[in-house]
A = this chain, B = another copy of it.
């Protein structure tokens, strides 16, 4: 029945004020207000419907994305939306598009790496979308190793131009979003060559397509790289390939903020410090962490609501069966993900602060915290995206068979999310960078150089190497200092143990390579500590709203005790815990699940997602799952006819045993 809230009973059980929690989730009352208004604007506009997305052919899908992206822009202009509102609108449209790269990579690259003059020339065009740009770095043969890119930009002093060329097949640009079919321009990364000398990889603004008829300019071969994972999903994006056959661009289209090529062809560094690029990197990674919490929270919202609707087994005397959310196995898989979504939200919030801090320091020419900020953001990007990708798939499995239907929303969410583990730094490569930083930190202990920020705990290394847990009963695991010491001791001991093993190798690089799997584990331990500590820090703040803080304390406990249980081997192997204490942690975790249970629906309601944004029948706000699943099924193209295409040609001859022996 329409209009009935099948989850009303669940909502009544909540022991906290949902509206206040919405503010906590959003970050502020202001952000909540904007998000709420813009998400409803999108949801109410039929031009943004997306429920047919997984059924469209690639061409229909892509045309539709162009339509939506351009329409979204028109609405932004018409409604005079602020930058914040515009970016929220793109977020709630919830469809990867060339505009993501235009606003998220092309514009920032010019801002970060262009001179003032270059910015004055290109940014107004980009801001009005009179040109559309993408970010063309990765090649067929090189992704992670940016320094290995093969595209060349050779300065020709006779004409004052760069000649951009793709010398090999593997030098073809490959992957840039928005490149395949839409972008008129690109920031292209290529090896700068002047006077026969290779200066390494630099960025260049290159026009790709005619602004008159959109055909590729002479010397340029460009196209889409083909279907990607999933229906709908990232196939709305025209990830592209690009080859240059000696394409000439004026010298002033090299991005020259940090280094320049003069009219004479001399290469020189400006006095702008190279480290400036790190600011952008911190920014981009912060958005990735926040996006992780969004994606995970969507999946958790769907799985939680459906788990309250779905009943299976346990009927007594013909009464209703048990809601699957009441099974402890379901809780032990679902609630840690709910807690993770909140944890990632808060660490994302903290990263915003870090970005401001880094930016201010850069402006004051203070580069001292950069290595730490770099390692910390690399690690958090890796940790949160991996956990989110796995978590979405776990949520899908938690929905049983129906989770496998596209109408559950979960398959598309997974398919569209997983590349976050790969782009902006492959997650393993990033963890190795964290590990390198940790090893350096350990090696400098005792040299007087105090570790700062997220590695400050290493300053207490002597204590952390010797201490052991005081936990004696399950409730002791609710004490933040007990928990912090446990995670710090584990992380510190794993790092130190790696460092000791490394020191046995004559060649440190060889040792690092050999022990890299262990180093990655140490890096993960360190990153988990960061997330736990930022969640605990958050709880030190004043958090208004009835029962809100209490709920967050429970979720925080679920998060760290789940990690502790999952990785109990680390805690036991480093002898910080004994088996009894590890078992007590598990007991406490179980008790916390029981506390989450009555609040579960309200905790996902606090995300304040519209049904449009969720895009899931299983996750409907009103819980009216079955009739809507049934309705949706009939929309499949196969149901357009009662008798399927192929019956007369193939099936009937088979059933009638009239198969001709010629080829079908």
By a beta-carbon cutoff of 8 Å, the part of chain A in contact with chain B is 47, 54-55, 57-59, 62-63, 66-67, 70-71, 73-74, 77-78, 128-132, 138, 140-145, 148, 169-170, 172, 175, 180-182, 184, 211, 213-216, 223-231, 234-235, 238, 241, 311-313, 315, 321, 327-333, 393, 396-397, 400-401, 403-407, 411, 414-415, 418-419, 421-423, 426-428, 432, 513-518, 520, 567-575, 579, 582-583, 586, 590, 626-627, 629-630, 632-640, 642-647, 649-655, 657, 659, 661, 663-664
Residues of B within 8 A of A312 (CB): 142-145, 148
Q: A59-B637, A67-B650, A223-B633 are in contact. List 14 more A-B contacts (CB 8 A).
A: A57-B57, A66-B647, A70-B654, A71-B650, A74-B661, A172-B630, A180-B638, A226-B632, A226-B633, A229-B415, A241-B633, A330-B428, A400-B422, A403-B422
Give CA–CA (A656, B82) in the complex, Å: 23
Residues of B within 8 A of A422 (CB): 397, 400-401, 403-404
> Are the CB atoms of A637 and B216 closer together than 8 Å?
no
Q: A230-B230, A406-B227, A654-B129 are in contact. Are A71 and B664 (CB under 8 A)?
A: yes
Residues of B within 8 A of A639 (CB): 223-224
> Are the CB atoms of A646 and B515 closer together than 8 Å?
no
Choose one: B230, B400, B569; the contact of A411 (CB below 8 Å): B230
A contact face: mostly helix, strand, loop, or mixed: helix
Give CA–CA (A291, B511) in the complex, Å: 39
Residues of B within 8 A of A661 (CB): 74, 78
Q: List 26 A-B contacts (CB under 8 A).
A: A47-B664, A54-B227, A59-B645, A62-B645, A63-B645, A67-B646, A74-B661, A131-B655, A140-B630, A141-B311, A148-B313, A169-B626, A169-B627, A172-B630, A181-B638, A214-B643, A215-B643, A226-B632, A226-B633, A227-B636, A229-B231, A230-B231, A327-B513, A330-B428, A415-B415, A572-B579
Residues of B within 8 A of A629 (CB): 140
**How many identical subunits does the complex contain?**
2
Choose one: B62, B518, B652, B663; the contact of A638 (CB below 8 Å): B62
Give CA–CA (A567, B131) in the complex, Å: 54
Give CA–CA (A583, B582) in the complex, Å: 19
> Are the CB atoms of A214 and B651 closer together than 8 Å?
yes
Residues of B within 8 A of A572 (CB): 568-569, 572-573, 579
> Are the CB atoms of B517 and A332 closer together than 8 Å?
yes
Residues of B within 8 A of A78 (CB): 661
Give CA–CA (A432, B311) in the complex, Å: 17
> Are the CB atoms of B573 and A657 closer together than 8 Å?
no
Distance in Å from the Cβ of A414 to the closest Cβ of chain B? 8
> Are the CB atoms of B643 and A213 closer together than 8 Å?
yes
> Are the CB atoms of A579 and B586 closer together than 8 Å?
no
> Are the CB atoms of B141 and A62 closer together than 8 Å?
no
